[in-house]
Structure 1
Amino acid sequence: MAGAIALGGVFLIGTLWYSLVEGWSWEDAAYMTVITLATVGYGETHPLGSRGRLFTIALILLGVVNIGYIVNRFTEAIIQGYFQQGIRLQQQRRLMESLTEHYIICGFSRTGRQIAKEFRAEGVPFVVIDSDMESVQRAQTEGYTAFQGDATLDDTLLKVGIERAICIVAALPSDAENLYIVLSAKTLNSGIRVIARASTEEALQKLRRGGADEVISPYITGGKRMAAAALRPQVLDFVDGILTGADRQLYMEEFLLDPAFCPFVGQSLQKARLRSQSGALVLAIRRADGALIGGPTGDTVLMSGDRLIGMGTAEQLRSLNQILGPINSKKLRRPKNS
């Protein structure tokens, strides 16, 4: 910008000189100034004396300096932009390669933003994918790791490390695109957990048939929550307080019993004394075959592949995790502000 202004000033000075001092017409003065600054080698428009030639020499030098400055800055901007873009891509590639046991959010619409907010409150590593550059920039502004690309393509999912991820959330507005994501994710990583968004009942069924582990319809879920808020407001407040939010005191967590690490497989809850050792409450047990035992008693036997659903403070759940041994489906996380 400064170089262009300086060049314009030189052009104005040259035109005024040839017009006012040499007595040329404005057209001839402007033409002489242009061919002088451009150093094209044309002859003089009108004969010049010694004074005019000295001024023309100075004008040529000023023009060469200014044009050289403009070209230099322009070239520098192009080169810096190219290398900076390359550096950004390299940094992004290294970041994606470093992700492991992470979550992937496909789509940064209102649903995706809320999911990202909850993930950040939980302190889990995750990456956002969106094809819209503005959405990606917004996610990055909010401090999230984001990648621009089409989440329905295998190449995009591979770039965000889907083979190392433990869960992917298909939260795009289109049911068809979410189905593509489900199929691609299960193909690239058969063990990944897939959560999908559905707009209609028909899409909900198709996504489940496509391999989604859980399918959530915002309209159905929203209707159920509104009904619960009307009928059982205190229960809903309590459940919300232990499921979401960064300032909660009680948490719920699930634990997978691995016989290779858990010493309590085959024992009853009474004998395992999980409550007395950790302080955490075992609310339910999901058997490996899908059967759910709500409110298990002391006689309930712990079996291989069981998923224990526990409730307690962060420290109580962490203590329960240590008692049960390493879990291979997910790791217990400490909320950032707990």
Structure 2
Amino acid sequence: MNLDRQISTQARIEEQYRRIQQELTGGAVALVGVFWLGTIWYHLIEGWRWVDAAYMTMITLATVGFLEVQPLGDRGRLFTMSLILLGVISIGYIVNRFTEALIQGYFQAGLRIQRQRRIMEALSGHYIICGFGRMGRQAALEFQSEGVRFVVTDSQSDPIHAAQELGFPALQGDATLDETLLKLGVERAVCIIAALPSDAENLYTVLSAKTLNPMIRAIARASNEEALQKLQRAGADAVISPYITGGKRMAAAALRPQVMDFVDGILTGTDRTFYMEEFQLDASTCPHVGESLREAKLRSQSGALVLAIRRSDGTLISGPNADTTLMQGDQLICMGTAEQLRRLNQILCPIRSDSPRPPRHGQ
């Protein structure tokens, strides 16, 4: 009930802003029409010059009380009285609409809407976080530390205000609706994270996102095993269950604490020394496709370590040796310092050095 009320409130504000715009535009058009009516009358009926006719109309509408430009008969005076009445009505209508918009804050709301629209339209190759709860907030903080472009959406106003206070671009809306996803630029996004409270909402979000952009990578939250399987069938590329994943990590931390500390240290956080990164090989940009790791000399040139290679058919090669051949579509999972990974990025993608994204200093 609260969700529907908040969404309808947002929609009502946008509708009222559009209505005020239309009414102010209509009032301005009416005033211009009255001005031309008076000018044409004085020119054609009274036989005045265009300049005199326009001047007479202007001082009449402005009700400044100046004398007539030229003497008027009864007919001309009756028309002038009607012109004054029409002018007062038009100007009064515009002033009334403007005052209402100012008092109700529609102009401020309109500026926020336009600013949000410009931000969304400028986004490309970005990530979308649906739901700014505990999981969505943590994902946003990680993206911020990685320097990744992203946008947050939530159906409730409080999480949106919290995201905006942290400096995150945010838009209030229902992520299960195509309209909201299109506003977020889903067709230009590379990944969407469905971290909404219910499994049903996450399912609808994944289905909508995949329909609008079949190439987008979808990551969803699931509360149980059944929901996890349904989200996978719906097309989610990865499904995270906080309870299942949390239990596994707790067990791993108990059995292999040093390993977990090391893995956490290279995957997350802003004070890391080592990083892990993925590199997609493309024959059009990578000169080393078709070479072995020995021939490519990636370790000696960059200092980064190739931990694993995932082939385009899904085969995973853990701990590749020097004779492993690099092939088109391979994904290299590498580890190293920020500078080592940056050099490796330049070696693998000299033509398109901005892809994939290397980590930055200070992250």
TM-score, scaled relative to structure 1: 0.76
Which whole-Å deviations, capped at 9, do the CAs of 1:197-235 have from their partners, x for residues lacking one? 011101111100100000110001000110011000000
Please state whether the residue corresponding to 2:279 is helix, strand or coil.
strand
Describe how 1:22-61 pairs up with structure 2 within 5 A: none
Contact 2:338 2:361 in 1 (8 A): no
Please state whether the residue corresponding to 2:105 is helix, strand or coil.
helix
Specify the alignment match of 1:252 in structure 2: 276
Residue of 151, 155, 163 corresponding to 1:139:
163
The alignment status of 1:130 with 2:181, answered yes or no, reads no
Give the letter aligned to residue 316 of structure 2. Answer: L
TM-superposed CA distance for 1:330, in Å, is: 5.2
Q: Unmatched 5+ residue regions in structure 2?
A: 1-94
In the alignment, the residues of structure 1 paired with residue 361 and residue 154 of structure 2 have an alpha-carbon distance, to the nearest angstrom, of 26
In the alignment, the residues of structure 2 paired with residue 290 and residue 84 of structure 1 have an alpha-carbon distance, to the nearest angstrom, of 51
Which whole-Å deviations, capped at 9, do the CAs of 1:64-121 have from their partners, x for residues lacking one? xxxxxxx99x937735712111111111100000011100000001111111111111
Residue of 172, 177, 183 corresponding to 1:148:
172
Please state whether the residue corresponding to 1:284 is helix, strand or coil.
strand
Percent same amino acid among aligned pairs? 70
Specify the alignment match of 1:158 in structure 2: 182
Residue of 179, 186, 191 corresponding to 2:203:
179
Contact 1:123 1:336 in 2 (8 A): no
Which whole-Å deviations, capped at 9, do the CAs of 1:106-152 have from their partners, x for residues lacking one? 00011111111111111101000100001100110111111000000
TM-superposed CA distance for 1:337, in Å, is: 2.1
Distance 1:111 1:263, change over 3 A: same
Which whole-Å deviations, capped at 9, do the CAs of 1:152-205 have from their partners, x for residues lacking one? 000100001011100000001211111101111111111110001011101111
TM-superposed CA distance for 1:334, in Å, is: 3.4
Contact 1:167 1:194 in 2 (8 A): yes
Describe how 1:84-233 pairs up with structure 2 within 5 A: 84-233=108-257
Distance 1:329 1:194, change over 3 A: farther
Give the letter aligned to residue 362 of structure 2. Answer: N
In the alignment, the residues of structure 1 paired with residue 275 and residue 155 of structure 2 have an alpha-carbon distance, to the nearest angstrom, of 34
Specify the alignment match of 2:65 in structure 1: none
Distance 1:328 1:214, change over 3 A: farther
Specify the alignment match of 1:52 in structure 2: none
Specify the alignment match of 1:283 in structure 2: 307
Q: Unmatched 5+ residue regions in structure 1?
A: 1-70
In the alignment, the residues of structure 1 paired with residue 213 and residue 353 of structure 2 have an alpha-carbon distance, to the nearest angstrom, of 16
In the alignment, the residues of structure 2 paired with residue 76 and residue 150 of structure 1 have an alpha-carbon distance, to the nearest angstrom, of 29
In the alignment, the residues of structure 2 paired with residue 80 and residue 256 of structure 1 have an alpha-carbon distance, to the nearest angstrom, of 52
Specify the alignment match of 1:312 in structure 2: 336
CA RMSD of aligned residues (A): 2.0
In the alignment, the residues of structure 1 paired with residue 356 and residue 129 of structure 2 have an alpha-carbon distance, to the nearest angstrom, of 19
Give the letter aligned to residue 271 of structure 2. Answer: D
In the alignment, the residues of structure 1 paired with residue 145 and residue 245 of structure 2 have an alpha-carbon distance, to the nearest angstrom, of 22
Paired residue total: 267
TM-superposed CA distance for 1:329, in Å, is: 11
Specify the alignment match of 1:337 in structure 2: 362
Give the letter aligned to residue 191 of structure 1. Answer: M
Distance 1:217 1:278, change over 3 A: same
In the alignment, the residues of structure 2 paired with residue 228 and residue 96 of structure 1 have an alpha-carbon distance, to the nearest angstrom, of 41
Give the letter aligned to residue 122 of structure 1. Answer: E
Specify the alignment match of 1:303 in structure 2: 327
Contact 1:258 1:328 in 2 (8 A): no
Q: Which structure's CA Rg is the greater one?
A: 1
The alignment status of 1:262 with 2:277, answered yes or no, reads no
Contact 1:269 1:300 in 2 (8 A): yes
In the alignment, the residues of structure 2 paired with residue 334 and residue 299 of structure 1 have an alpha-carbon distance, to the nearest angstrom, of 28
Please state whether the residue corresponding to 2:207 is helix, strand or coil.
helix
Give the letter aligned to residue 219 of structure 2. Answer: I
Contact 2:206 2:236 in 1 (8 A): yes
- When structure 1 is superposed on structure 2, of 322-331 and 102-111 the one drifting more is 322-331
